[in-house]
Amino acid sequence: MVSSFVLSRVGIQGVKRPVTINRGNRSIVLVPSFDISVNLPAEQKGSHMSRHVEVIHRAVDQAIVGDNDSVEKLVERVAEELLKSHEYATYADVNLHADYFMKKRSPDGRDVTENYKIFAEAKIERDGGIPWRSIGIEVAGMSACPCAMENVRVLLKDDLKNRGFSDEAIGILDEIPVPTHNQKNRAFIEVGMNGEMDIEAEDLIKLVEDNLSSPTYEILKRKGEADLVLNAHMHPKFVEDIVRDIIDAFLDRYRELPDNATLHVRSISEESIHKHDAFAERITTLGEVREATMYERD
């Protein structure tokens, strides 16, 4: 009987460690949760698991005290340490996710600290050329439904007509946004490629927030709250609109990235009128979406 196969990966998950990222003149403390693994060749027995764990932790420590100016470089260094310490492994995979905080100016003009999620992953092969890295962010913003808004507009007009209002008065409903259902929308983007990426997490956050019905804020005075609600209702969007618009904006903003760079975009709408969530998602390469764009432009 045969007793061993080439395992895809073996490792540990849920290791939390505080990490300092020195980004320009800022120093950011993150508390990421790491999942890290290497492949295990068929001929390799499992007896190095305790060393495996020990080494992984050391790798995290060495990477942490080093010169880290991005989470992508951090996970890549951890992956490099893994391959150094596991001479039998030919592949290492390291990813992390963490809360991320960014200062923003709210609609009513105050500086607030907003909460996001950040993701990074590195996949490296021994003697395998350029490492693959990704960086991603998740934003809790707002989506407002365009379909319900139009149907509500019809209902309101009918009602006003029945109540005897003039056509001129009723016509004002075409000049303003009317009620629709809106809700928290969790929008996610992750970009991956072989080699150095020059992508700022905070630029991704802004790009995503610009393509929701509206970004959200932790502190809003009444005027700011009303401005945000109006802004969202001026930009009603389905989940699939949000995904498409984020991809559009990304292509426009990052023209220099190679065709084989990967793009993962997802929008989850925590529907206020239903008990379930709605979602749209696209996993693709920049080449594929650029080609689709060319085709449509013809």
Does position 102 interact with its own copies (CB under 8 A)? The reply is no
Instruction: Judge contact between 122 and 37, C-beta under 8 A.
Output: no
Phi, psi torsion values for 87, nearest 5 degrees = -65, -20
Q: Which of 125, 202, 210, 240 binds its own copies (CB under 8 A)?
A: 240
- For its own copies, the binding residue among 69, 99, 196, 203 (CB under 8 A) is 99
Single residue of 59, 89, 118, 220 touching its own copies by CB under 8 A: 220
278: contact with its own copies by CB under 8 A = yes
17 touches 60 (CB < 8 A):
yes
CB of 244 to its own copies, least distance (A): 5
Least Cα distance to 186 among 105, 147, 243 occurs for: 243
CA–CA gap between residue 209 and residue 86 (Å, rounded): 42
Determine contact, residues 142/184, Cβ cutoff 8 Å: yes
State both tokens at 86: 């596991």
The one among 69, 196, 200, 281 contacting its own copies by CB under 8 A: 281
Orientation of helix 49-65 relative to helix 71-85, angle to 10°: 140
Minimum distance from CB of 76 to its own copies (Å)? 21
Please identify which residue in 86, 97, 123, 233 interacts with its own copies, judged by CB under 8 A. 233
- Among 231, 203, 197, 204, smallest CA distance to 217 is for 231
Q: Is 241 in the site for its own copies (CB under 8 A)?
A: yes
> Do residues 74 and 80 touch, judged by C-beta distance below 8 A?
no
Tell me which stretch binds its own copies (CB under 8 A): 29-37, 80-88, 126-134, 198-206. 29-37
Q: Is 226 in the site for its own copies (CB under 8 A)?
A: yes
Binding to its own copies in span 154-193, by CB under 8 A? 154-156, 159-160, 163, 165, 168-173, 175-184
As a whole number of angstroms, the distance between CA 70 and CA 22 comes to 8
Which residue, 70 or 180, is less far from its own copies as judged by CB? 180
Interactions with its own copies, residue window 130-159 (CB under 8 A): 140, 142, 145-148, 151-152, 154-156, 159
